[in-house]
Amino acid sequence: MGLSKSSTTLLALDSLSIYRGLLKDNVISSLKELLISLDKGDVDLRRVVNLYNDFYFELVKSDTLSLKDYILDKITFDENPFSLKVQAVQCNDSDRILDNAVSHDLRGLQLVSELDPSIIKAEIAELFEDSPDKLILEGLPEWALESQTSSSLNHTQLLKDRFNSCKHWGGCVEELRNFHKTYGSGIFARNIAYVWEKTNGHGYLKGIDNPDPITLDELVDYQNERSRVIENTVQFLEGYPANNVLLYGDRGTGKSSTVKAILNEYQNHGLRMVEVPKAYLADFPLIIRQLKHRAQKFIIFVDDLVFGDNEENYTSLKAVLEGGLESKTPNIIIYATSNRRHLVKEYFSERAGLHSGNPHEEVHAGDSMQEKLSLADRFGISVVFSSPDQKRYLKIVEGIAASRSLKIDTERLHREALQWALWYNGRSARTARQFVDWIEGNEAIHSSYITCDLQKGHYR
C-alpha cells in the first residue's frame, strides 16, 4: 500500500538537507506537527483540529493564503550553505558541489507546496469517520493551491515567476544561483537598507522595509558638493580605491538626503546601506564581520555625528577609518554627516592644561587635543554644505516648486518663502522643502473649496 499524501509530504520535509533550517520556521514547523499527528493516526480529534488551525493561523499571519507563495519566499531568501557560498565574494564559479543536494531539496519543497487542503481534510475525516462532528471537519479553512498574482516586476518576483513556470523545481538551481550571486541572500536580498539594533545586549542587522525614497533628481542645488560624493561612490562600486566621506555643515542643507538619494540611485548596482547609531559605534568589528564576505557594496552610514567629552566611541570609529586588519575590506565604506567640522568637542580647559601646574591635569594634554582634532582628518574626503544665501534659497524653492509642477506666481512664491524662513528655521534646503510642502497643501485645499462652492452654485 502506497503512502498517504500527508506521509509523503512529511517524508519530503524530513529529507531536507541544505534547506533544513526551514524546519524551524513557524509555518513549516506547524505543518510538520500536523503531518506527524496524521501519520501516527492520532485518535484525539481536538488535538488534530488544533494542529490544523495552528498551521493555518501561522500561514495567514504571514500575509499570504498560498502555501506555494510562502515556500517560494522562503527559498528565495533563505540563508543556507548554498546561498551563502554562492553569494560570497570568494565564491568559485566552478564549485557546484552542492547542486545535487539543492536540486533534491527543491523537488521536496515543491511537493510540500502542492499540498492540497482538501486531501488533508479527507484524511482527517477518514481517521474520525465515526465522529458526530463531521460538520466541524468539513468547515476547516483552506489555503490557496496556486500562487497569488503580483503586478511587481522586481528581481524577487521574476525568480518566483520562473519557479511557477517550471514543471520541476529541481531544474531551477542555476536561476537560484544567479539570483544569489547578484542580490545576495537573507535580508541582503530582501532589503537595500538596514539599521544596526540591539536587544538584550545582542546586536543584529534589521532590514528597513520602506527606506526614504528621495532621489537625486529631487535635490535642488548643491550640485558641486553632491558630485564629489557621487564620484567617490561610483569609484567604490567599480572596485577602484575610494575614500570614507564626511559631509558636514549647517543643518538642513541636505547632507543626509544626499547619502540616502545615492543609495536609491545605485541600488541596482549592488549598493546597500547600513545605518549605525552613534551609541553603537563600538560594534563596528561585529558589523564588518557580517558584511565583508558579501557580494554587495555597503555604505556604513553614521548620521549627525558628534562626540561629547569623555565619550570613547570615537576611538572605535577612528580605528575603522585607519583601516586596521579587522576593518580593511573592499566592499565597505563609511559616510558620516555632522553639523561640526571638529567631531569631538574640545574645551578651553584642555588648552589651559598645556601650561597648567595642576597635578590633576593630563601631562601630555597636547596629545589629547591633537587626537580629538584629527578624527575628521581621517575621512579621506570632507564636503562642506553651507547655509544658502537669500538668492540660493529662493533658487532652491523655485526648483522644488517646479519639480512638483506648482503654478504659483514667482513674486508671491518668493515673498512667502522669505516670510516662512523668518518665521521658522531660517534659510536652508530643508526649510525650502517644508515651505513648498505647506504651500502645495494650502493651494490644494483652497482649490477644493472653490470647486465645492462652484458645485453648490454659490461661488463668491
**CA 386 – CA 115 distance, rounded (Å):** 62
Asked whether residue 24 falls in the same domain as residue 172, the answer is yes
Rounded Cα gap, residues 409 and 415, in angstroms: 10
Q: Is the pLDDT of residue 342 over 60?
A: no
> Which DSSP category does 417 fall into?
H
Exposed / middle / buried, residue 275 (Cβ in 10 Å: 0-12, 13-18, 19+): buried
Give alpha helix (H) positions in 114-205.
117-127, 134-138, 155-165, 173-183, 187-190
- Residues 243 and 376: their CA atoms lie apart, in Å, by 13
| Segment 315-341 mean pLDDT | 75
Report pLDDT digits (tens) over 92-121: 555 677 899 999 999 999 999 999 999 999
Full domain range(s) for residue 71: 5-190
Give CA–CA dist 73/66, Å, rounded.
11
Q: What proportion of the chain, given as a percentage, has pLDDT over 70?
A: 81
**Which phi and psi angles does 236 have, rounded to 5°?**
-60, -45
3-class secondary structure per residue, 276-344: CCHHHHHHHHHHHHHHCCCCCEEEEEECCCCECCCCCHHHHHHHHHCCCCCCCCCCEEEEEEECCCCCE
pLDDT mean over 143-166: 83
Same domain, 95 and 176: yes
Domain end position, chosen among 385, 420, 441: 385
Residue 366's pLDDT is what?
A: 46
* SS3 label, residue 443: helix
The pTM (predicted TM-score) of the whole model is 0.78
Check which CATH number belongs to the domain holding 239 and give it: 3.40.50.300
307 and 181 assigned to the same domain: no
pLDDT at 450 over 60: no
Rounded to whole angstroms, how far apart are CA atoms 108 and 365? 68
Q: pLDDT value at position 308?
A: 61
pLDDT (0 to 100) of residue 363? 43
- Does the pLDDT at position 354 exceed 50? no
Percent of the chain with pLDDT over 90: 41
Residue 373 above 60 pLDDT?
no
Which has more confidence, 400 or 196? 196
Q: Are 103 and 186 contained in the same domain?
A: yes
Q: Does position 457 have pLDDT exceeding 80, yes or no? A: no
Going along 114-268, which residue ranges are E strands? 193-199, 202-207, 245-249
Answer with the residue of higher pLDDT: 134 or 296.
Answer: 296
Query: Residue 140 pLDDT more than 50?
Result: yes
Rounded mean pLDDT, 124-136: 78
Average pLDDT across the chain, whole number: 83
168 & 201 share domain:
no
Same domain, yes or no: 155 and 209: no
Rounded distance, CA 304 to CA 279, Å? 12
User: Please, are residues 39 and 6 in contact by the beta-carbon 8 Å criterion?
Assistant: yes
Among 272, 270, 243, 427, which Cα is nearest to 336's? 243
- Looking at the structure of the chain, the number of domains it has is 3
**In this structure, are 39 and 162 located in the same domain?**
yes
Which of these, 288, 368, 300, lies nearest to 324 by C-alpha position?
A: 288
Residue 2 has pLDDT above 80, yes or no: no
Greatest mean pLDDT among 48-57, 151-160, 326-335, 338-347: 48-57
Residues 47 and 111 in one domain: yes
Picking from 109, 81, 105, the residue whose alpha carbon sits closest to that of residue 95 is: 81
Mean pLDDT across 391-419: 89
Residue 213: pLDDT over 70 = yes
If one compares 110 and 396, the residue with the highest pLDDT of the two is: 110
Indicate whether 134 and 29 sit together in one domain.
yes
**Which range among 67-76, 131-140, 316-325, 426-435 shows the weakest confidence by mean pLDDT?**
316-325
| Grid coordinates of 139 | 468547515
pLDDT at 375: 67
Amino acid at position 178, single letter = N
Q: Report the alpha-carbon distance of residue 3 to residue 6 in Å, rounded.
A: 8
The whole-number average pLDDT for the span 414-429 is 87
At residue 130, the pLDDT reads 72
Q: Same domain for 44 and 56?
A: yes
The pairs formed by 436-440 with CB atoms below 8 angstroms and a separation of 24 or more are 436/397, 436/400, 436/401, 436/404, 436/406, 439/401, 439/406, 439/408, 439/413, 440/401, 440/404, 440/406
Cell numbers at 98, concatenated: 552542492
Output the pLDDT for position 104.
96
Instruction: Give the span between the Cα atoms of 315 and 418, in whole angstroms.
Output: 43
Q: Which of 125, 158, 190 is the endpoint of a domain?
A: 190
End position of a domain, from candidates 169, 190, 211:
190
Residue 40 sits in the same domain as residue 112: yes
Residues 236 and 362 in one domain: yes
The secondary structure element, H or E, covering residue 273 is: strand 271-275
What would the pLDDT profile of 72-98 be if each residue is shown by its tens digit?
999 999 999 999 888 875 555 556 778
Residue 460: pLDDT over 50:
no
Is the model's pLDDT at 425 over the cut of 90? Answer: no
Q: Which of 313, 320, 256 is nearest to 287 (CA)?
A: 320
Query: Are the CB atoms for 430 and 436 separated by under 8 Å?
Result: no
Q: How far apart are CA 384 and CA 314, in angstroms?
A: 21
